[in-house]
Amino acid sequence: MTGKTLLVINPIAGKGVAKRHLMDIVTRLSEGGCTVTVLPTQKGSATADRIASLLSVEKAFDMVVACGGDGTLNITVEGMARSGKKTPLGYIPLGSTNDFATSLGISSDIPAAIDTILKGTPVPHDLGNFNGRRFAYVACCGAFADTSYNTSQSMKNLLGHTAYLINAIPSLASIRPLNVTISADGETIQGKYIFCGVGNTTVMAGTVKLGNETVNFNDGKFELLLIRFPKDLIEAGRIATKLLAGSIDDPTISIRQVKCCRILSAEPVGWSLDGEDGGKSKISTISVEKSAIDILK
């Protein structure tokens, strides 16, 4: 796809790869027929606010390209949703792990990703809504929820996906149980869990992997994945072993599809949205916005 392009770029993503290759990215897009406007990311909600403002102008842009990690994608999606315009979205994944891009089959190789944008077709994709804030692929709480934003950038740059595992697995021994009641599409689920995730991805929180056959990105449903609080250290060890092996085949792990769920907890629970800090809440409503965005694939 070509035309007026808003390039949202995180300069420090992927060991600073985005910053070093900015001119190459702009040149490749320009040579492909795009007129590029560059928007570097800022802290807080400033980037999403700016995206919403820019897109609200009639025929301002033909497409948006997010260049960075999953956090950059999250900010971009939020801004696009706020604009009320369904502008096609391209993605150049330059983060440390790029879990969501892997789920979508988008290459982390810059030329290949740009080729996908220029030659790709907009494909409808569901978005999540967490208490009014959009997310691209996962909202989660519990043992691994803060792993992404509590793992140092230097560690991510050095070890990539392994950094998440190193930070996440030890938390199984010290995590407090999530005592929650979940209302999901008319079903009530109650219990103690170490992890709760609602997502549209084959990887949650950088550690929990779902099979490709499980996930449909545009069916109006997200996967609700729960890991029950282990009854003893033996069970905790077994869970850790399964997760390290990329498996969710365990009696403590359950998965179901939901359109909407409401999660109540006895005390405020910290959430992660696409690997970013989603704040704490006692009442969390998560819903699916079907076909809310078109992603170039």
Digit-coded pLDDT (tens) for 139-194: 988 876 654 434 444 434 443 444 444 455 555 555 678 999 999 998 999 999 98
DSSP string covering 211-238: -TTT--TTSS-EEEEEEEPPSSHHHHHH
Question: What integer pLDDT is reported at residue 151 of this predicted model?
Answer: 43
Structure tokens at 206: 């950088």
Report the pLDDT value the prediction gives residue 155, as an integer from 0 to 100: 38
Q: Is residue 296 part of a domain?
A: no
Question: So which residues are the catalytic ones?
Answer: 276
Tell me: the pLDDT tens digits for 244-277? 677 788 899 899 999 999 999 989 999 989 888 8
Residues 112 and 148 occupy one common structural domain: no
- Do 261 and 165 sit in the same domain of this protein? yes
**Is residue 280 left, alpha or beta, with left meaning phi > 0 and alpha meaning psi from -120 to 50?**
beta
Same domain, 94 and 166: no
With both helix axes pointing from N to C terminus, report the angle between 13-20 and 22-31 in degrees, rounded to the nearest 10: 60
Q: What is the pLDDT of residue 205?
A: 61
Which residues does residue 63 pair with via DSSP β-bridges, in sequence order? 5
Is there a single domain that holds both residue 181 and residue 250?
A: yes
Whether 225 is covered by a domain: the verdict is yes
Q: Decide: helix, strand or coil at residue 4.
A: strand
Q: What is the pLDDT of residue 172?
A: 52
> Which of the four pLDDT bands, split at 50, 70 and 90, describes residue 45?
confident
DSSP 249: -
Residue 4 has pLDDT above 60, yes or no: yes
* 277: CB partners within 8 A, 6+ apart: 146, 149, 270
Question: Under 8 Å CB-to-CB from 243, ≥6 apart: which residues?
Answer: 168, 169, 207, 208
Residue 70: which pLDDT band, with cuts at 50, 70 and 90?
confident
Phi, psi of 115 (to 5 degrees): -60, -40
Where a domain ends, among 66, 91, 120? 120
CATH number at residue 22: 3.40.50.10330
What is the rounded average pLDDT for all residues in the chain?
85
> Token match 């099979």: residue?
211
Does residue 147 share a domain with residue 108?
no
Task: State the pLDDT at residue 277.
Answer: 85
Do 95 and 144 lie in a common domain? Answer: no
Place of tokens 């509590």: 150
> How much is the pLDDT for 148?
46
Residue 9 pLDDT level (bands cut at 50, 70, 90) = very high
Residue 149, pLDDT score: 38
- Which pLDDT band holds residue 297 (cuts at 50, 70, 90)? very high
Give percent of the chain above pLDDT 90. 55
- Residue in 172, 170, 152, 169 with CA at minimum distance from that of residue 160: 152
Q: Which of 21-30, 99-108, 161-170, 196-205 has the lowest mean pLDDT?
A: 161-170
Whether 167 is covered by a domain: the verdict is: yes
Convert the pLDDT of each residue in 193-241 to its tens digit. 988 999 998 877 666 777 667 789 999 999 999 999 988 878 877 877 7
Q: Of 120, 155, 179, which marks where a domain is finished? A: 120
Residue 7: helix, strand or coil by DSSP?
A: strand
At residue 187, what are phi and psi to the nearest 5 degrees? -100, 140
Q: Which of 81-85, 115-119, 213-217 has the highest mean pLDDT?
A: 115-119
